[in-house]
Structure 1
């Protein structure tokens, strides 16, 4: 079935190719839906001067208004066959009805160079008591004329006496057309309508294709056609090619064709040679027909082989067989010497089958073992990476379980291009962060933990997953999920695309500079996030690693706090917890460092260091500059020595922002007090920053803010006394620094595991 379908497709393609070459280049190929094959054509093309027809007798007309192809006298053409040398036209039917008497309209056809086919047509009469007469002539044979007629009688009107499908004289009669006639006239007349008028309304006469007309009794009452198809035989004039020995350049027959003389001695036709197909009149001639792709005489049932060549094909038997391969020949039979070879082949085939079965079983066993091993490895990784600990956390807080998606290793490998180094966003103490793109085109950040079997690091990682799953704040990086089936655990969270805060305040990265107004807003947003962790979360959270590199900025420079690997949950009934000291050098609360007692004021101290970074543009720790090794101590010391304005970032337009710079410096000093009880709460820090921004945005708020500031001056004067550089304010804004015991206790500190 499949081979047959393929053959039909190839045959249709070949036929389409032939059709595209049926007319001359530059000539109309169709009129409406009807092909116009050469030697026929529609006139001479005015644009190119190409004569589209071979002889004048082949010159046709295309009625563009009706899309009909017309022969002379406006006879519509329904088909043309170059291979058969025939053309089919439509001719009117002669008709007379009972309300009229006499003779019907005479129909006349004159074809000149073409003849009415005597083998394909019949002269037909339909009716009762009807007489029709036809006259046929051959103008090329001294106007030979032939008369013929046909009479029908219906003496008994009952329809059952009239048989369908037969036309033998009762209700219908037909006669042959003489051969070689190129002119024909015919008409129909009635003898007596009186006796048959009850069932025979009209009578008809016409010339039509033999296989087109089949008589029906219903035609006596009503005949549904006004025209009938007539087949014309056409030939090429002898003047074009007088005999077959003339060169093909002077003959209508082209390559791979035979010339066929007309039976009546006038003109000739061309046909493709055996084994060729196409239009024998077209300049390209006939092309070879591949018999091997069609029905042929090769014995397929005996494995015979078909070989195509120009004009024919041959059959043969495959190696090891004898015979000619033809259906009607000796077929193909296996040679006697081939039986032993066949036996060897069968044995070899059996061995191959056995080996194939063994290989399949071994492969299946290996595949099952590999899958079992991978499953065991994934389960082991899940346990080593803290999966049980995470499940324990989630079971205690079921409401947060649906916020975390468990990704597969394949998903995250595809998202990061197999963790390509070009996708690395940054490295920290907890791991490496890659940029990933999920199948739905969501951009994410994927943290690959540095866990290597260290129970403490695993606990930190799982802690970060659990802590982030409970946080839903616009200024906190949102977790999307994790993957624990890999050798090292992976954490997936939202992608923040504008780098870290430190990238934007570092003087060495001038392309990322942000203004003081933006810095103040970012500080306020960061405080909002930390305050949410301390008071609004279902269980209070101490971040424990607030620093400028853990504050990310999005495309609108909005702050998002990240990296919760060191964070701790604080039970509601406890104000502080004792834990192993963990943090980052330069940001670590000295009181927490000495006592191991962790509370919310530890985050306040770290944020105070971030405020100093925003004011000065310097790193929290700089080993290459001894005086700036610890920025917090350097800041407090500089203010004490009345050098505040000398250490501020020169890019911050100090004259314009002097008031806010001084206020933020005061706030930073309060956050950096060594004694945690003397530091403000994060809520107080948030209110002060909001007031600063509100005063700047709404000047009418300044009076109330100044009153609150005066109330605080008594306390602040114990710490801050000094002056503003010339041009940066009046006497009311002068500050100074007095000694304080707590500042003397400030110490340089380092953390072995600081990030």
Structure 2
């Protein structure tokens, strides 16, 4: 819906406010939202961004034309528009980076960083969406959210590609459009663009806040209030400004930016919305209810129909009480609907014995709202791709961490249920304890024990005079992490693979003991099961190369990720660095292994390690890390063996004066370990660099990324 007396369409494209067509400046919110309509061609453009618009949606997205970059003999094609400073960013949820090439390395970068890459195999000449999904002649990967600058590239890295080196294309594309509409004929020099989805929001300034002040989010609003509400979203690591977004309340629809009441959605138009036990539907303002007839058509649920068959006298007597009861029941019904999905999923897990119900408390939403001061921004402990963690105090005085998901979709529900299932089975001093969950809210909420001293990454990579990471402390923390992983792999009721071990997922409690956290992507396996076959999931720099190639995650994949954390503790360096020279490589694992092979180990160690550890013990730990990083999973130690080795070093340090002399200890002689780096070979989802591979790529070796 556009503003009154403003153009509503350009050809077949509707123009909802805050977008609008001039010359009346009141028709659009600010100059970024001004559009120009070419009447002769019915083409619509964002005037300032100079983008042709294909569709505009009031839900915060719009679809625009995005250039296809054509690469030939060193020529780098047209790149996506730079959106810096605008209210628009490229949608990580709707778009995928796509490369039509084979045998060459295609990559996509943000303004500062490389965010991903892929390579496909050559087979025939056909190109289709199905080919891209399996990595034949075409490959795709997801991009991170909130990027405003994107550049694409296809490199000839001396791999065997097609003889026609000019038939290479790279572009960002709306994955729904690509899956349903793209054909081989679209790959031509004549077709220079494809649709891409942008996310838009209003910038937070005095004007926007003043305009939408009366609609700012109020958790105490009535369930049937049609007034729109707005929220201010804080800046993130990838999105540098605060954003203001507005919504219609649940059960209503309309354009919330017009500052007019939204209108009710009649859910009863969906004939399948009610189940067979209560097949009849009654619509209400903002909600609905299901009921069934008995005894020749008499209704069973009389509370919702009070007064329809009664006389005027009875209505006068019961109006006050019935109205209060009606309001109470409708509000309760809304809460019950939110609970239903979670309960069905959890009940299935409970009935199968996968959830230890004695360990999981069901919290009331009001209890958690009170404990976090209505999820006050001052209570935020941290934010990530999956949600926000708040500090809360329960009525019994316990301090807890309350994790509230950011969005509601199927993957979020699955991660929520999975984390409940996994953590209900775990009882270990070095694993964060799940206290319970809340089923009454629209988004999943989990409640954990409060871990007060942040994560391990902060202490490794930032100066902290209050708690310096001495050699003894690093050795102890490494042993605690290893012990927790050994427990998950061997001693839990079912073997559990964490699948996202990294220093930011290791928390430190009040006594600075390590606590392994974030089990949203973890998986339990049968005792006789050796691996999981999944879409490749992990964080760039920690991802097991063998898992990347085969899509088969084993307990040795966790060992590789632990090896990267161990190298972080030894060197004090980040898993991916953009400050090293090309010769050294960007991967810490590669840099560490290469330095050991060249005899430069003590040149790259952290000063605290060199100062506090004996050379003999340092070399033993370094060789242990090197073993964990072996490209062959079969040749890596188990976490039980790693734990035993670290405990042995700790014991020897307590009972000796430094162990053997440096000259008496030699490096472990193993076969050469190549400095490989990881690049996706197909599609991916999830935090960090998540990527997926198809079984057809299992025979293709993981190749070094020479440009790093």
Which of these two proteins has the greater Rg computed from alpha carbons? 1
TM-score of the two chains, using structure 2 as the length reference? 0.50
Q: Which of the pair has the greater relative contact order for Cα pairs under 8 Å at 6+ separation? A: 2
